Amino acid sequence: MTRHQLSARIRSTGAYLCVGLDSEISKIPAHLHSYDDPVFEFNRQIIDATKDHCVAYKINTAFYEAGGVKGWETMEKTVNYIPDTHFKIADAKRGDIGNTSSQYAKAFFETLSFDAITVAPYMGEDSVRPFLEYKDKWTIVLGLTSNSGSKDFELQQAGDGLLYEKVLTTVAGWGTPDNLMFVIGATQAESFERVRKLTPDHFYLVPGVGAQGGSLKDISSKAMNGDVGLLVNASRAVIFASSGEDFAEAAGKAARD
């Protein structure tokens, strides 16, 4: 999906919500366990209920990898079920030496039909470059994350600024705003004005709204650019809005809200 297509989808929908399919089998409604593939059935109904209120879906691969071969099959069925009108993100946080990253890129961009993958930048440019070489695919690099451990490295002083600032300005030169995004956590709202000054044209994938307490209003006011430039992710707050048989209806309402 190109930047133009993504921006057009945001404007036509009037939303920049990304629904996170962190579909942990122990948390899905009990009545779904009678299905051959309970997680896929859960995802299918969530997608049907939310697709009119969002522009993207993010599959956290850990929740599928934990299930072994069956989990991978569920992930493949899920990504294939997501409409092509929607941006499909593999939240895999990959990043390794070049030939290994090439195989990760092939797995998620060719074998699986994702539009984007999250990538860790700390092994340097050669670990990120293989993802950037795919046409009309996106690399979403960890910038400033929403977890408490971000203070251990990302918020440490590095030269004239903080380490995450150096990551943003360095990585921005490896790609373009047409194929490169950054993960910026919603719980770091006070930093968004600084982040936007450093990377004025890039899109951000913003986790941490909802269950983690990030403010949608604060993020939108501080970080929106001319193309909106935001994909605000909500996972638990949407997909687990209800644990009963009305789970899909509740998820649709949460997404709409």
Lowest mean pLDDT among 9-23, 149-163, 164-178: 149-163
Tokens (6 digits) for 30: 């009990």
Q: What is the pTM of this model?
A: 0.96
What would the pLDDT profile of 222-236 be if each residue is shown by its tens digit?
899 999 999 999 999
Please tell me the predicted confidence (pLDDT) of residue 208.
77
Q: Per-residue DSSP letters for 30-69?
A: GGGGGSSSHHHHHHHHHHHHHTTS-SEEEEETHHHHTTHH
SS3 137: coil
What would the pLDDT profile of 57-74 be if each residue is shown by its tens digit?
999 999 999 999 999 999
Tokens (6 digits) for 70: 């069956």
Angle between helices 247-256 and 38-50 (to 10 degrees): 40
Let me know if 217 is a catalytic residue: no
Mean pLDDT of 88-102: 96
Catalytic residue among 27, 70, 77, 93: 93
Mean pLDDT of 200-211: 87
Please tell me the predicted confidence (pLDDT) of residue 213.
65
Residues in the chain: 257
Please tell me the predicted confidence (pLDDT) of residue 74.
98
CA distance 43 to 239: 9
Q: Average model confidence (pLDDT) for the chain? A: 94
pLDDT band at 211 (very low <50, low <70, confident <90, very high): low
Q: So what's the architecture of 3-256 in CATH?
A: Alpha-Beta Barrel (3.20)
Is pLDDT at 244 greater than 80 in this prediction? yes
The residue assigned the tokens 């409604």 is: 29
pLDDT band at 250 (very low <50, low <70, confident <90, very high): very high
Strand partners, 232: 17, 206
pLDDT band at 44 (very low <50, low <70, confident <90, very high): very high
CA distance 121 to 173: 13
- In contact, 202 and 182? CB cutoff 8 Å: yes
Tokens (6 digits) for 244: 């009963």
Radius of gyration, CA atoms only, the chain: 18
Mean pLDDT of 108-128: 97
* Other Cβ atoms closer than 10 A to 120: 15
- In contact, 50 and 255? CB cutoff 8 Å: yes
Q: What percent of the chain has pLDDT over 90?
A: 87
Distance of CA 67 to the CA centre of its chain: 21
Amino acid at 253: K
Is pLDDT at 218 greater than 80 in this prediction? yes
Is pLDDT at 100 greater than 90 in this prediction? yes
Please tell me the predicted confidence (pLDDT) of residue 222.
86
Please tell me the predicted confidence (pLDDT) of residue 66.
96
CA distance 146 to 184: 7
CA distance 86 to 52: 10
What would the pLDDT profile of 137-163 be if each residue is shown by its tens digit?
999 999 999 888 999 999 899 988 999
Please tell me the predicted confidence (pLDDT) of residue 224.
92
By C-alpha distance, which of 126, 116, 54, 71 is closest to 96?
A: 126
- In contact, 163 and 121? CB cutoff 8 Å: no
pLDDT band at 172 (very low <50, low <70, confident <90, very high): very high
- In contact, 233 and 207? CB cutoff 8 Å: yes
Amino acid at 50: T
Higher pLDDT, 29 or 190: 29
Domain locations in the chain?
3-256
Please tell me the predicted confidence (pLDDT) of residue 178.
98
SS3 217: helix
